[in-house]
Structure 1
């Protein structure tokens, strides 16, 4: 009964100054939304690595990813015991219209690529047409929607790594097995690219960027990586093999500082709104000095006054937090729709929601601290004398 009375009285106190309360709650909601979205940005950068296939290895040049590997490495790796399938990929790097129309372009082996990547779902007829047409390409459904392309369209690309104007025909559109699969890629024939390169730049021919190895037992990933690398030890093109997750985390490590900055900003936003709400609660406490003194003179303990302040502050924090969490989902969807080229998946995790509510509680508790201390120091006679 005592708790219900405190809650009822605290709720009335919140809405005494409706504009102030509304603005404070809105500020908390904005802080919680910002915190949630910034954390989701960081989580989404790591999502691709976390969702990667544990049985898939990536082999690249040991010196640097910038240096290619001889295509002959593919057949040598295929003969290693424990290898289930092998394919190769080469970055093409062409320009369509201008830099604003950027999308990933890879020259692949059409016979093995979709075996190693079963999460790319392609219509059998379209796949057959792609394999038949050396100038054909298969594109992801997201890219097709983005550029307004359909099967049969001609796509010209201006080569950057490989000079000249290249013309391709869309022969198929692949779908993702689920929402986590990247459907924004442009996949062409490696042998067609390689054939033209032999005439243009012979030194770049018969080379691939990376080799993807699908192994039979994911638990043997470390041993298989060592076996592959030992195959080419002391050669002119030594290799470095690692799991797909480790390979992707290597790219993420390049932007670790940016991700740390984003996380820092997320917590800074919470601290700023905490200071703003603390000031709001302090103003409310000063305005109610006489009321607190009156309650004490009527026999209410300091514990009751403290409870009143804490409940009021926590209620505002939780209302703002709940509003922020509720709005985070539609805003995350809108943000993802505008940045689909950056993130394969953009989902607010349950852990983030827990942290959002925890942040709202911390804001409420921290904001109540100064008013609680101030009310405890008020003597009844001084409080009744105070002019509000």
Structure 2
């Protein structure tokens, strides 16, 4: 009898999604900013403490809104990690800005705050941090650097819903934040995202940019008698069916997070022996960070063939994956951005990282198979 395939990810459904979608259909309001969108906005604002939350059709869209809100001009620079998804850089490159890549920390794989200041030039306008695996960057140090140099801070918190730093929700700490609700994330809507405008002075412009550059939101609130084109913007709104799906997920966000944390903790305990044997390194969570169990990754010991480990696990119908190819070494990264200083840790750690299957409903039996497959693959190195 063939083994059940254990995929890296399986989207989780709460059971309420179709009910909410049917309700949205019956309400006959399917475009953006309907009742379900407003519920999601209120939940996000209450949960994060952000001045304004605005749903978008993706986290990429939220980051593109950030770039517009920063008024970036061609040649302006944005400091960011190279070990991130392409959207972090693309959003700023679209405005003509230059991503300046800085190396990552060895413990969290986040932007190394100790290297930021040396990368600042007269053209630097912002620091874009990425909270890798839902584990916070060292935000106090980063905010202090930004304050000294008059820079804005953008949080790419795509993986950070329900995570916090010193009690503050990720995405709500910098000037602007961006969430993802892609189906690979913890809380999902298929595709989807949100912008968090934490600087009150950016809220009105954020609404305008999101609504094709018009003051349509103010018109619907009765604050103006007609709406007109105010500045450059685009259509960043998701439809109401997407928001209805997301509302079901947000209602269960705490339960989803707790389930994932239990699976994460079980991996962490089970793999302690392999770490003690020097075969891998488990994730490190700093004391000030409450993570959301977005992923469980291991760093294979230097010299272990990652591709061989992946293939041996796939032979057992277990499907782990690696992660980003560093942007500084990509064709577009070399063309549109530049690296500041050595990228040694980015290069080294990205080649050693393996992400294990983690999703609600994985269960102990499947998880034991993942652990066994990894142990066997490493024993055959």
Q: TM-score, normalised by structure 2?
A: 0.23
- Higher RCO (CA-CA < 8 Å; seq separation 6+): 1
Structure with higher Rg: it is: 1
